[in-house]
A and B are shown apart, each in its own frame.
Chain A
């Protein structure tokens, strides 16, 4: 339990450090839904740094298990129709709501943005309800 808490805190610190550095160096918010949609939907001139950031994410996923001797555990158990429905909702919802967990909860809250605080509370609430209903009602 304690070990799990330490890894969680350590991972969180790396995430927060990354977001702070991207803001300090490039003046950009590390909002991953925005970075992703910028690559595929609004091909403006600043595409290259978005691609570089995403390649960085993938490199992190590849290297972290080797560097820290941590197994990459990935269990995606939802049936395919639910995966597709969930994906569409995540894509549509993050565009409509101007961000996801990274942009709103990691960066927006740190800027004391009311929009981000309200967005975080809202998607946490509907996520808790969705799991409560799908795991305990059906």
Chain B
């Protein structure tokens, strides 16, 4: 809690919920929650669907100017400072981890955001997928921490 401004705890929680809502809405209306849609983007040798490129384009249109603008501010609204990753070196862990993630993404067509958002379908296979994601995270913790 140390990073949150005094008396700003509920504002901090509300903005986390509201941005999650906006994020989940974006994933849903762009159909990124559908694994088949992701796989048809990844399938360059088949009937290729470029949708994900336009989603990324829309997102970066907001985040590139947005993050550059926010970073020039001294402080976030409800917190004392920006929490940023402190690693800057491109190491083997980054490359191997990203490579493994890409294989899993390509096998199923789901990455973490869409997987969580699509839980509203109560699809049993999806619930197994999310449990497997958590197991994979746990496995990493056991190996490396």
Interface positions of A (Cβ within 8 A of B): 4-5, 7-30, 32-33, 36-37, 40-41, 45-46, 48-50, 52-65, 67-68, 70, 72-78, 80, 82-98, 100-102, 104-111, 113-115, 118-120, 122-132, 134-136
Residue of A nearest to B129 (CB): A87
Interface size class of B (residues with CB under 8 A): 35 or more
Given contacts A36-B112, A65-B28, A130-B106, contact A8 B16 (CB under 8 A): no
Q: Which of B13, B17, B82, B144 contacts A96 (CB 8 A)?
A: B144
Interface residues of B in 81-111 (CB under 8 A from A): 81-85, 87-90, 93-111
Known: A25-B19, A74-B33. 10 other contacts (CB 8 A): A15-B27, A18-B26, A29-B85, A56-B18, A83-B108, A85-B107, A85-B132, A90-B101, A90-B132, A106-B60
Residue of A nearest to B58 (CB): A12
Q: Distance (Å) between the CB of B9 and the closest chain A CB? A: 8
B63 touches A123 (CB 8 A): no
Given contacts A21-B15, A26-B16, contact A32 B112 (CB under 8 A): yes
Q: Is the interface of B mostly helix, strand, loop or mixed?
A: helix
Given contacts A14-B23, A53-B20, A131-B43, contact A84 B128 (CB under 8 A): yes
- CA of A32 to CA of B16 in the docked complex: distance in angstroms? 12
Given contacts A25-B77, A75-B35, A128-B106, contact A60 B27 (CB under 8 A): yes
Given contacts A58-B116, A136-B46, contact A122 B62 (CB under 8 A): no
A76 touches B109 (CB 8 A): yes
